[in-house]
Structure 1
């Protein structure tokens, strides 16, 4: 069976990570995630991430690198996470989200993350913390 890949973006800006609170579907509403969506046929994961973040949040991003690992969402769906840099726009919750928050590495536990996002969030925050410690202007 072929699995459909869902891409999630660990979007960085000024030393912070973007978190998005789900408004739909009902079983996920109120929980937080790294925003993204399904890779469509003929699309690369990076292209899907750019498209999804544009549709869901109204921002332009640059995918950087894939976070190691993959996490099952439900039968037939697997989550891949990518780091991404904010290039343009101010994120707004346009689709499937009702609130957004920028979190510094020490604020990773400030929101109620969806369980499948936790490993990717932990790694994204580790990467962000390392970038922040490497000097002024180093963090994307």
Structure 2
């Protein structure tokens, strides 16, 4: 359903919490569209970034497609951005989740629970969960 809302121009309804990833299918070479929840946004060297967590780990089709072809486009709100995918190492994912849990404790618990990790608020639990989650950072391409 969110993909259709983005296509109808209603992306701003998601207030940046969801983005539409337009990526290349690894088998067909055809464009694929997937609506994904944004874990975190930021800036690196003057370029926007969007961090995503794969709920299905490295088995998710969109994740595998980006591994094959890391160049993609995202729609956030009404804006389109060319991006390049960067895959976090487990220790980077652990640090990301520990920081996220400090800023958003409830959302971190929900994300960990959704992905099958029991956490009780201990930073070690969040690091362990984050190390096991497949995170992708989409970095806006240089103009």
Q: TM-score of the superposition, structure 2-length normalised?
A: 0.29
Higher relative contact order (Cα pairs below 8 Å, separated by 6+ residues): 1
Normalized per residue, the structure richer in helix is 2
Report which of the two structures shows the higher radius of gyration computed on alpha carbons: 2
Normalized per residue, the structure richer in strand is 1
Q: TM-score of the superposition, structure 1-length normalised?
A: 0.29
